Amino acid sequence: MTDAARTLTAVADAPAVAAAPRRKRIALVASKGTLDQAYPPLILATTAASLGWEAGIYFTFYGLDILHEERLAKLKVASLANPSGPIQLPNLLGALPGATAAATKVMRKWMRDARMPTVPEFIEMAQGLDVKLFACATTMGVMGVDTSDLIPGCEVAGAAAFLDFAATADVQLFV
């Protein structure tokens, strides 16, 4: 090991605050890009941060839409093959044009009537609490998403970087 490498190791190993107790940590994966599935990871992360925990969410595959500046506010609820969805339709009708928009509209109304924040509002709450928002680099490459398409403040990261964060997490959940 070179002297420079040794110095770097020493710096990395030095605890920032020796007496500070270790904070609990939650690591979440958000893999789905529907309106209904955007909520659970955001609710859990903002709750964890409110409890004083460190929280991070890895947005991968369709879940990356939750960090997408344009798509973030337009997430939809599936009307097809969603037997618990907000409108109860046989699959044959759920495939009709407008059915997805109708299901989405109903869920938005449910959320609004219950005074639940929108997904963009949840993202803002999460960022205010220093929740780490990891954007999956592979998804960006596969789906042609550029860093400039994403909301400010998220970190582009691969699986190794997320696992490095998740390795010391007390709770890990895949949504």
* Binding region for another protein (CB under 8 A): 24, 43, 46-47, 49-53, 114-117, 125, 129
129 or 175: whose CB is closer to another protein? 129
Shortest distance, CB of residue 47 to another protein, whole angstroms?
Answer: 4
Q: Going by C-beta distance under 8 Å and a sequence separation of 6 or more, which residues neighbour residue 85?
A: 77, 78, 79, 94, 103
Shortest distance, CB of residue 156 to another protein, whole angstroms?
Answer: 27
42 or 136: whose CB is closer to another protein? 42
Distance CA 58, CA 154 (A): 10
Shortest distance, CB of residue 121 to another protein, whole angstroms?
Answer: 11
Q: What token pair was written down for 65?
A: 């839409």
CA-wise closest residue to 27 among 131, 128, 135:
131
117 or 120: whose CB is closer to another protein? 117
9 or 47: whose CB is closer to another protein? 47
Distance CA 82, CA 111 (A): 18
In our burial notation (b when 16+ CB lie closer than 10 A, e otherwise), range 95-117 reads eeeebbebbbeebbeebeeeeeb
117 or 153: whose CB is closer to another protein? 117
Shortest distance, CB of residue 166 to another protein, whole angstroms?
Answer: 20
Shortest distance, CB of residue 116 to another protein, whole angstroms?
Answer: 6
Provide, for the chain, the percentages of residues in helix, strand and coil under a 3-state DSSP scheme, each rounded to the nearest 5. 50, 15, 35
